[in-house]
Chain A
Amino acid sequence: MAPSSADSEARTYRNASPGLAFFLTSVLSAVLMFVDHRSDYLGQLRGWLGTAIHPLQLAINSPAAGLHWMRENLVLRNTLIAENATLRKQALVQAVQLQRMAALQAENRRLRALLDSRARIPDRITVGRILAVDMDPLRHRVVLDKGSPQGTHAGQVLLDANGVVGQVMRAQVYSSEAILITDPDHAVPVEVVRNGMRSIAVGTGRLDQLSLPFLTRNADVKAGDLLVTSGLGGEFPAGYPVGTVTSVDGSEGDAFLEVMAKPAASLDRLHEVLLVLPPAVAVEPKAEPAEAPAP
């Protein structure tokens, strides 16, 4: 059949200067990249485009969300009863541990008051859900369903039940973008629980591996050591588990050890994460001694 005029219009190319269009878009994108790399001015543009993309992300997430809903709603009564029993047992065990925790916390506060150091503020936490959307395959990024109206902000720390997950990178209106601790661009200040030695855990690009590149040959670290956040740098609250050291290597000539760790959080099956909120009121360190002199 003969193509119509509209089709031949679509299929033939008349623009005399594709070079000019290419030049214009190249310059424009080069400027965009430069500005985006050097500053945060493009946050607004990214926000608008992100809002435009959000329905697509929701659509992609919907099968996973549906499965999740089905798993929660279409379960047998027996399964629920069994689950309830284990949860009850778990709650009991944790309640017992909490009793000791309360005593320890009180003691800690007293000691801190004696040392006149700043009181630790308990962290407030909210729950966010991770959308089942893959981002750049070369980076470890995830999309959260909480946006800036819900208090999400860049730099906010993400935890799961076992440890540190990552940080929010960009908060948008309906969603936000987070970076995992295993991303090669990410680093967490950590300390070894056994001896309090501080270092930095850097992502390797593999979901099951962190690297500690700044430990000298005489550093006291061995496989099995637990790493927790040190709280230095001010971004991460102190004391949350980051990972366990899996291997300590290093040839004779190197100045630094090659230390690898396994993240504590289960980064490969994330569903829900805890977002650490900034403290509601900054507690004055002076207010603490008032209740301290009890003993």
Chain B
Amino acid sequence: MRNARWPVWCIMLLALALELLPLPELVRPLRPAFTTMTVIYWTLMWPGRFGIFTAFVFGLLIDVAHGSLLGQHALTLGMVSYLVLRLHLQLRVFPLWQLTLAVFALVFLESFLLLWIDGATGHATLGPQRWGPVFAAALFWPLVMAGMDRVRERLERRRSSFS
């Protein structure tokens, strides 16, 4: 019970489901990058339990679900997770607006790396579908963070009452 990771995995699967949920063509480009946000949040808050390898495995699942190049999201999510790990002590004391900006930068960096890999394999496309999720992620971050904070506090409280 000490190292229970399954609630986090459930949340990750939920994030993946949100990425795959069918949306109308008009709002599709504005779907926030839920998976990246989830990886950022849990690496930031539980770095002892959640890290680069988890992000890597999760990235592979995204690649299969999206039908993209196998390893593409694994690489970019691994990178995001690494950056958050390096900076987690600074990021945690940021006020919300600064953290939101940092998340924007991280998601932007991930998108850029994805674009770069797409370009290297010969199908680089630009457009609202490419950058929409980045802006949407920044907009949704306070909400997503509040929601996941609640889940995390609950998990921590439950565990502390066990011990």
Interface residues of A (CB under 8 A from B): 1-7, 9-15, 18-19, 21-22, 25-26, 28-33, 36-37, 42, 45-46, 49-50, 52-53, 56-57, 59-60, 64, 132-139, 141, 169-170, 177, 184-185, 205, 207, 268
| Given A29-B59, A57-B20: A185 and B25 interface contact (C-beta under 8 Å) | no
Given A11-B46, A132-B22, the answer on whether A49 and B130 have CB atoms closer than 8 Å is: no
Closest to A7 in B: B156
| A60 with B21: CB separation less than 8 A | yes
Q: What is the CB-to-nearest-CB distance from B42 to chain A, in angstroms, rounded to a whole number? A: 10
12 A-B contacts (beta carbon < 8 Å): A4-B160, A7-B159, A11-B48, A29-B78, A33-B75, A33-B117, A46-B64, A60-B21, A138-B130, A170-B67, A184-B123, A268-B25
User: Which residues of chain A are near B53, meaning CB under 8 Å?
Assistant: 21, 25
Q: Which residue of the partner chain A has the closest CB to B30?
A: A137
**A229 CB to nearest B CB, Å:** 23
Q: Is the interface of A mostly helix, strand, loop or mixed?
A: helix
Specify which chain B residues have a CB less than 8 angstroms from the CB of A36 in the assembled complex: 69-71
The listed residue (A37, A133, A135) touching B69 by CB distance below 8 A is A37
Chain A residue with Cβ nearest B76: A29
Q: Are B85 and A42 in contact (CB under 8 A)?
A: no
Please name all residues of chain B whose beta carbon is closer than 8 Å to the beta carbon of A15 when the two chains form the complex: 51, 85
Residues of chain B touching chain A, judged by Cβ–Cβ distance below 8 Å, are: 2-3, 13, 16-17, 19-23, 25, 28-29, 31, 45-49, 51-53, 55-56, 59-61, 64-72, 74-75, 78-79, 81-82, 85-86, 88, 117-118, 121, 123, 125, 127, 129-130, 133, 156-157, 159-160, 162-163
Which chain A positions have C-beta within 8 A of B2? 6, 9
Contacting pair B48 A26 (CB below 8 A): no
**B123 cross-chain contacts in A, Cβ below 8 A:** 138-139, 184-185
> Smallest CB-CB separation from B21: which chain A residue?
A60
* CB neighbours of B66 from chain A (8 A): 135-136
> Contacts A33-B117, A137-B29: A25 and B78 contacting too (C-beta < 8 A)?
yes
Interfacial chain A residues near B46, Cβ < 8 Å: 10-11
A42 to chain B, nearest CB (A): 5
Give the residue name and chain of the A residue nearest to B118 (CB).
Answer: A138
Contact A25 B56 (CB under 8 A): yes
Q: Which chain A residues border B17 with CB–CB below 8 Å?
A: 56, 59-60
* Shortest CB distance A33–B (Å): 4
B20 touches A60 (CB 8 A): yes
- Given A6-B2, A22-B78, A56-B13, are A11 and B20 neighbors across the interface (CB < 8 Å)? no
- Chain A nearest Cβ from B32, distance in angstroms: 12
Closest A residue to B160 using CB positions: A4
Residue numbers in B under 8 Å from A31 (CB-CB): 71
State A132–B21 Cα separation when bound (angstroms). Answer: 8
Of B19, B31, B66, B70, chain A has the most CB atoms within 10 Å of the CB of B70
